[in-house]
A and B are shown apart, each in its own frame.
Chain A
């Protein structure tokens, strides 16, 4: 039995916007795998809820004419993992969301919910950061699109104004074309866990596969919100594909990340792992791109 004051069910985005405007205190609920847990814990007890779970228009992945990959915010992790466009263009996102919780959670949980929670450990978030994803938000004033890095304001807080909901996640062609990526979820067990650190790396190699043209690396849990390790990226750009580049790239992440000491993991431990997984994710991304590390 859940302590819910009221539940309003929207059947369209327009209806969701008007319900949210009518009930400014209401919390959006999609799959409920976070919201219901919070209600049970007492954190959101007595909440009013606007459910958007029935808005089928927000489900699915498609490739737009300009090559943008559009992921509806209500698309479940399972569907993303199985989607052919994802598998073909950005398989790393499917791999990342395939590491969320367990099968039941991946069936009910949505990528929109994962990102709107604003938590640093979300498995989809670091990968979306690494892809320079664009967040589409719909509200009373219409639709606006912002980079995912601007969407995250602080821990648990994203840029959703009154009456707004996230309706899509967009990955422009220039972000994904020619890139290969790898995600490493570092957790204490192989399922049913949240990341102690998540690291997603994309690289773009030169045509001869000997030079790193571009590299992007994003972390979850290396700070209060997901973040890009920009100095590591700079270290790698234009460098030859070799082990020295890998090592220097990995070591450079320490300039960018600021994990904290908590009972969940010590700072020194997180830093050690951050370097190890940066190197391994980078290496794997390079190999997927056809690079050879001698």
Chain B
């Protein structure tokens, strides 16, 4: 059995030796280079684009503007499965190039040139005239009457408003003796910062167009390019090679339609569009900033009587994934801490800002920042231990959601918390760090997270797999689920080897998806690759095995029910004798003069289940109050992701997510100029992605309760690691200082404000510099707590 073992990544050697080829490596050097001209206003109309000077630049092939787009096919960019029901389709509000500017950085023209220098020179020489409109950047301002309107069909800029009503909130809050705890919580706009920027290239062959793209979702890209260009989908071929990360940004159609259109406009010539980092920040997708307002009515015994959540999700200028993100977080609210009386109102609102789409966690990191921060405050008001308060109120074993039919089969929360607490010595530290004084204080805090796997029953879940037997007894595996760095191909190889019964070296997973030949699948998102592909790999593997054994029956005369494939051999199960190798069977099957067969299997499995995936983070911090700095001293995540197919890869996945959570909690934030709407820090210097030097050793732990609905006992792990880290750090800061920070990230600017408001600097002038760090930490004398 390979499932459960830390086998080596199938792409390890190629990746560490640099042999792996990514989109740019694959593109022919003769390609034209395209660059995009972005708007320099936040809202308005393009009146005129003067390209005369730019066209004189040697090497410029063609400049195309929004006015050259003669056929206007509006398209939706979200990388969701298509819905044949128009009511459930994503909002089609984008054009390849637009004259209606809705954010600073909108796409209004493109240059095609022989090289990047000529393209850059031409971009600088294009002159644009605009009619400017007022713009709005704040999500709640945008909802007010009279605010600048982005899309006619959405009054008050509200893309969608959904409600959840359970019990009777208004009645429930009248219960005598309730304690009200209320808070507002803000999360920032952040960007994915995958190491490979978005890149694609396109060229025509005959009347077909081929696109090679750094995407998570090749089959969805094919459909949307067809819709955007008004082309039959079968005339489009999309190839996805190895990609340097995506984290959800590449679960969106970014510039594949534009690149394809530019190729068509230049006679089908090969055109490459390699988006610079600065533009990746502004003109790809970002994470929704969500402002949440929570009111809890608690009984003195520490149980909830009624709860209310309002959340306002900043969509930016176009719909992309839209309300799905906010709705996911809002949907988690009544489940995580069940309460009889709940009201939830979730709004997704357009603003004149970069477009928000999918990003690892899909609304849950925002929701957990609010919910877990709030939980800590409620426990503090009640003077209850945060751990015991959680234990009392968290979702219990047996909880079943009526809509998804998800069931909490095991006591995941308690098991994960126990394991994490032990690893980080939580109980001792939690006591030890109480009531500290001094400039430098330690704290420890926890947060849990709610997550689920895949998107059933909201949209289509389907997975297809093809296996083709080779004459040496090995076989190819193709699935529509994509390797995006997470190690999916390795997990697929392990599962396929187990189902068919061969050594893992005999499984060749075709990493590259090509929509002309790869069976249909919707790609990498929703932490679903292993869960989803598991169904079709098991089903197809069994089908392949059946065909192999059917042929073995011909060669061995033994009945199929007495045969099995074990470790690459055809074995008679009655006595365990190896009758022949799979290799000799496969060779004979292919070349037999009497009974030649090409043994293959292909099948589709439609998944009609979903699975909860829960866990927690515990973080320990040291807060230097005068310096307004938090040092993360230790951090541990514990997950119940079901059975781990590959524990080492699972651990790596958790480390990556924790790193993302650390940046989210402590440093990352996109900043917008209030005067112009321009993104001010769209580069990796000014945008403070956290570095190795900002991380302690990351600990990843697991409890493995096999998921009963799953083909291999596995469930979501891709996104969950990023969901609870930031609130755990935030709660550790609260523990250390008594300051409940409302806004992420807890960078020094934000902490300066929070500590000032809390009066932590209200000492005699210069007190922060009284003594050196060590002396302050050890003596802790004469320092006032708020």
Contact = CB atoms under 8 A, between A and B. Distances in A.
Interface of A: 1-3, 42, 45-46, 102, 186, 188-194, 196, 243, 246-248, 250-251, 263-266, 268-269, 272-273, 275-280, 282-284, 287, 293
20 contacts: A3-B120, A42-B124, A102-B691, A188-B688, A189-B691, A189-B693, A189-B694, A191-B692, A191-B693, A192-B684, A193-B685, A248-B766, A250-B766, A263-B681, A269-B628, A272-B628, A275-B765, A276-B769, A284-B772, A287-B772
A282 B671 CA distance: 34
Contacts of A45: 120-121, 124
Interface in B744-774: 747-749, 752, 761, 765-773
Contacts of B626: 276
B691 A279 contact: no
Contacts of A276: 626-627, 768-769
Contacts of B681: 263
Nearest to B770: A243
B274 to A, nearest CB: 11
Contacts of A243: 770-771
Nearest to A184: B627
Nearest to B663: A189
Contact of A247 (B748, B766, B772): B766
B667 A3 contact: no
Contact of A279 (B747, B749, B769): B769
B769 A3 contact: no
Interface of B: 115-117, 120-121, 124, 626-628, 667, 671, 673, 680-681, 684-686, 688, 690-694, 747-749, 752, 761, 765-773
Contact of B121 (A3, A246, A284, A293): A3
Nearest to B683: A41
A251 B749 contact: no
A264 B671 CA distance: 9
A247 B770 contact: yes
Contacts of A189: 667, 688, 690-691, 693-694
Contacts of A277: 627
A191 B685 CA distance: 10
Given A188-B747, A194-B685, A280 B691 contact: no
B769 A192 contact: no
Given A3-B121, A196-B748, A263-B673, 18 more contacts: A2-B117, A188-B688, A188-B747, A189-B690, A190-B694, A191-B692, A191-B693, A192-B684, A192-B685, A263-B680, A264-B686, A269-B628, A273-B748, A276-B627, A279-B768, A283-B771, A283-B772, A284-B772
A1 B117 contact: yes
Contact of B771 (A2, A268, A293): A293
B737 to A, nearest CB: 16
B254 to A, nearest CB: 22
A265 B753 CA distance: 12
B124 A278 contact: no
Most chain-B CB neighbours within 10 Å: which of A189, A193, A246, A283? A189
A222 to B, nearest CB: 16
Nearest to B684: A192
- CB-based closest 7 A-B pairs: A279-B769, A190-B693, A191-B693, A247-B766, A250-B769, A276-B626, A191-B691
Contacts of A264: 686
Contact of A251 (B685, B688, B766, B771): B766
Contacts of A191: 691-694
A282 B684 CA distance: 32
B629 to A, nearest CB: 9
B273 to A, nearest CB: 15
Given A189-B691, A189-B694, A191-B692, A279 B770 contact: yes
B768 A266 contact: no
Contacts of B121: 3, 45-46
Given A263-B673, A273-B627, A280 B772 contact: yes
A25 to B, nearest CB: 18
B553 to A, nearest CB: 62
Contacts of A269: 628, 748-749, 752
Given A284-B772, A293-B772, A190 B752 contact: no
Nearest to B666: A189
Contacts of A280: 769, 772-773
Contacts of A2: 117
Contacts of A263: 671, 673, 680-681
Contacts of A283: 769, 771-772
Contacts of A265: 749
B694 A3 contact: no
A250 B769 CA distance: 7
B99 to A, nearest CB: 25
Nearest to B674: A263
A250 B688 CA distance: 29
Contacts of A193: 685, 688
A250 B771 CA distance: 12
A51 to B, nearest CB: 19
Contacts of A266: 749, 752
B691 A192 contact: yes
Contact of B761 (A272, A279, A293): A272
A47 to B, nearest CB: 12
B756 to A, nearest CB: 8
B402 to A, nearest CB: 45
Nearest to B123: A42
B769 A246 contact: yes
Given A189-B693, A269-B748, A276-B626, A247 B688 contact: no
